[in-house]
Amino acid sequence: MLLACAVFAVMSAVVKSLADRVPFLEQMFFRSAFALPVVLLIVLRRAGLHGARTMLRTKRLPGHLLRAATGTVAMGCSFYALTVLPLAEHTAITNTTPLFVTLLSIPLLGEKVGVHRFTAVALGFIGILVIAVGQGAFSGDYGDAAKTGLIAAVLHGVFSAGTTMMVRSLSATEASTTIVLWQSLLMTSLVAMAMPFVWVTPSTADFLLLVLIGLLGGVAQVLLTEAWASAQVSSIAPYSYSSLLWAVLFGWIAFGDVPGLWTLLGAATIVAASLYIMHRELRRRPRS
């Protein structure tokens, strides 16, 4: 989990470094396209060619399409937010997925959310407002692009939560490898449709960085999958917030961004709210 968070943070830093030269949609295409070979190599190594074909068999293609659509929008919101927000602020706000999973579970799963989890969700949103205030989002001199970036970062949490809900649904009948394979294939195809409208031919150096984005994303995804498969969620989920530490470090080294007190306070509030929601979820589950 620690390695996955570190690799994702490096990928985010590379995405941000290319923001002025390569459209974020084009970066998304390379992220999906060059992560796909990494995923396929892992599948072939484990199951062979016949096994890979078997894993592609599904009776729930509409579910995979919806999962890919929400995942693509979530990635788009995240990549756009990276182009206009400092790494630390971006990472803090995009870590709000557990808050939106809790809210979406009410209409989509019919779950009853008690006062403890509602309070934690409210606290998480207060954390978002704290970061926004610290960024000066409500002042007259705050740029429209940065305001849109803040909104995009929040929307990432919404659509990422939708993706999480779809994975929960699909995992009832589909193997995790099947979900990952269809995700990679469909997301690459969806983003590819936008390429004729946004394509900018990159320089050789930028092309190599774009390939690096895809490879880093694929490696990080494999590490993340291995982390969830190797230990209980309760034991490793807190380590996912190490991404904030990496974001602060790389933001400072690569871009000279030093998060202010308001950003740190808001990030701590979001993390605390998300961890408390996880704690309440674990208490609700029946013990085997």
272 burial (CB, 10 Å; 0-12 / 13-18 / 19+) is: middle
User: Is 171's pLDDT higher than 80?
Assistant: no
Residue 283: C-alpha distances to residues 36, 200, 217, 279, 280 (Å): 37, 50, 33, 6, 5
**What tokens were used for 123?**
């606290």
Q: Please give the pLDDT value at position 98.
A: 81
pLDDT the model gives residue 288: 47
The answer on pLDDT for 74 being more than 90 is yes
Tell whether the model's pLDDT for residue 251 goes beyond 70.
yes
pLDDT at 243: 87
- Region class of 262: left (phi > 0), else alpha (psi between -120 and 50), else beta: alpha
Mean pLDDT confidence for 39-55? 72
What are the boundaries of each domain within the chain?
Answer: 2-282
- pLDDT for 233 equals 59
Instruction: Say what the pLDDT of residue 72 is.
Output: 93
Of 240, 262, 251, nearest to 88 by C-alpha is: 251
Q: Residue 197 burial (CB < 10 Å; 0-12/13-18/19+)?
A: exposed
pTM given for the model: 0.85
Q: What is the average pLDDT across 93-122?
A: 82
Half-sphere exposure (Cβ direction) of 220: Cα atoms closer than 13 Å: 21
Query: Taking residues 149-164, what's their average pLDDT?
Result: 89
CB 198 within 8 A of CB 24: no
SS3 content of the chain, % helix, strand, coil (to 5): 80, 0, 20
Residue 11 has what pLDDT? 93
